[in-house]
Chain A
Amino acid sequence: MNKENQIGRAVVYVKLKDGVLDPQGSTVKRALENMGYPEIKDVRFGKTFEVTFQKCGKRKPEELLDEICRKLLTNPIIEKYNYEILQ
């Protein structure tokens, strides 16, 4: 197997949990209203991480991604996450 095949890529999306106040999202929503977009009902702010990783024989990419999301990429008190594995 060549090296390139052992490289995985994923996109991690981090959002504030439902019900957690989002001052950035609500400010963007108000700005959109003022700009003439009354049809925008809600905006929630979030972050995206593009992660490249070395695939390891035994360990599933999901395990690795869940672990880094839990430990560092999110604060589980206020944030939730999901991800897409691209390759």
Chain B
Amino acid sequence: MKFGVIIFPGSNCDYDAYMAIKIVIKHDVEFLWHQDTSLHHCDCVILPGGFSYGDYLRTGAIARFSPIMQKVMEFAESGGMVVGICNGFQILLEAGLLPGAMLRNTTLRFICKFVHIKVENENTPFTNLLKKGQILKIPIAHTDGNYFISDEGLRMLKENDQIVFKYCDQEGNVTPETNPNGSLENIAGICNQTKNVLGMMPHPERASELILGSEDGKYVFQSIVNFFSPAK
């Protein structure tokens, strides 16, 4: 299988994602340009973190209309694997590939630090090598990560097991104190109903090697590889 990492004007985690896949999990990966109108036969497309289009208007609002996003939307709707990390998650929300929206962090600050997140659903292509309840140490780096969705939307998320990660402490307690940005119910990552699109605010690509402080993030990428060719 092959990964593709999209470069939008203002992406800044594109190389991190590329290197995590190429060097850490040793898989095929190539860059995709925002002006491209083909996904180059990639099996999993990653929308990396950064500040696409300077975060002008709303985070992700302009990137969502990039030529390549039309292809990403068709790809996702036909079951293709799509991962949005941080700004990538915000783009997927604006594109309507994932439900909900991002508000400014309650502190109004740009928060850049390691946090703990808890796996809420292990039955996704992105978490199949993890266990429900497992705690990962992965950094966040954002100003708009305060996840919001209507009551009805939240009910649907729960009903369809779409909540994938929640902010917690190192013991796994999910409380208001362990919520860094004000996200509804400590939500850190969600997937779509058909479980082929993931959005997460924490940066797994920045936590894929011990020298970076944690290698918990690599399990997300390895789970995707495992989904395509399960280990015997």
Contact = CB atoms under 8 A, between A and B. Distances in A.
Contact-residue size bin, chain B (C-beta under 8 Å from the other chain): 10 to 19
B141 interface: no
B104 interface: yes
Given A72-B65, A75-B94, A23 B57 contact: no
Contact of B148 (A24, A27, A72, A78): A78
A16 B104 CA distance: 12
Nearest to A16: B103
B101 A75 contact: yes
Contacts of B172: none
B104 A23 contact: yes
B194 interface: no
B106 A23 contact: yes
Contacts of B100: 77
Given A77-B148, A78-B103, A78-B148, 14 more contacts: A20-B103, A21-B106, A22-B103, A23-B107, A23-B108, A23-B146, A23-B182, A24-B104, A27-B108, A72-B65, A73-B57, A75-B94, A75-B101, A77-B100
